[in-house]
Amino acid sequence: MDVEAVDPCPFYGDAGRLQQVFWNILSNAIKFTPKGGRVAARLVRVGSQVEIMVTDNGRGIRRDFLPVMFQRFRQADSSTTRTEGGLGIGLAIVGHLVQLHGGTVTAQSAGEGQGAVFTVVLPMRVLCAEEPRSAPADAALTKPLAGLRILVCEDDADSRALLHELLSSEGATVRLAAAADEAMDHLREFRPDVFVSDIGLPVVDGYTLIRQIRQLSGEQGGWTPAIALTAYAGAEDARRAFEAGFQSHMTKPVDPSELAARVAAVARRPGAALS
């Protein structure tokens, strides 16, 4: 792999989140480039922006897939016999994180077998000689979920990562669980303000899990407001969720703004309303 920095420039951003962005892009480039192929990364300054290009000569991307590849749950190969795993969420996370930094991410390819180019453009911030002024003490409160503790139970690792990113970017403190027993442990120890759970969980499904939670005392977290996530959007699915003990029902894939609004609503944040 070749790495080139032309005219290096200072940039302020969330180091952890940006590492996640470029790790995902580079991992995909390496994954879809055959042995002996080439992956290159190049950074340049373009006016008041930083441009990072990751180029490979690997598998390439179908042209009809390019416009939707940064959408959640999109895969170039969605067949049941595809050879690569994952739910197509990684690039959606990339797009979301880049957007949070005020930037853009695009992909180009001449087609299958023609390689690909991913370009991330981020705005620079000018360095000042003086010390930066402290942010207002209530700056965090501008985020709709600031101060909330949220427990998420989701068995798919990609979906967990996406939900964590969506909720934490709105100011919440998020704890993750992969199964019902782990969620119950976190519920007692973490004492979340809101519980968000997938329905299709292994061994113990979301319906059973929320029933178990509702059997607990208030001190143990039994009254925690809860949101059900499911791929099934029928009225019967919503009815089952409400009867089991959830306060809200959302279908996958979730819309980030709607998810934040629902969480705020069940937590009884001012200005939020259930729908």
Could you read off the pLDDT of 161-202 as tens digits, one per residue?
888 988 998 899 999 999 999 999 999 899 999 999 999 898
pTM over 0.85: no
pLDDT the model gives residue 206:
93
**Superfamily per CATH, domain 139-266:** Response regulator (3.40.50.2300)
Distance in angstroms between the alpha carbons of the first and the last residue of the chain: 50
Place of tokens 């944040």: 269
Q: Hey, is 236 helix, strand or coil? A: helix
Per-residue model confidence as pLDDT tens digits over 107-143: 888 888 889 899 998 887 644 334 444 444 444 446 8
> Region 69-81: what's the mean pLDDT?
47
- The domain segmentation of the chain, as residue ranges, is 2-123, 139-266
Q: Indicate the CATH number for domain 2-123.
A: 3.30.565.10
The DSSP secondary-structure symbol of 155 reads S
What was the pLDDT predicted at 46? 78
8 Å CB contact between 149 and 191: yes
The angle, 0 to 180 degrees and rounded to 10, between the axes of the packed helices 90-100 and 157-168 is 10
Count Cβ neighbours within 10 Å for each residue of 115-149 and write b for 16 or more, e otherwise: bbbbbbbbebeeeeeeeeeeeeeeeeeeebbeebb
Q: Which of 71-85, 208-222, 252-266 has the highest mean pLDDT?
A: 208-222
pLDDT value for 215: 93
Where do the H-state alpha helices sit in 65-133?
90-100
Q: Among candidates 274, 273, 233, 271, which has minimal Cα distance to 251? A: 233
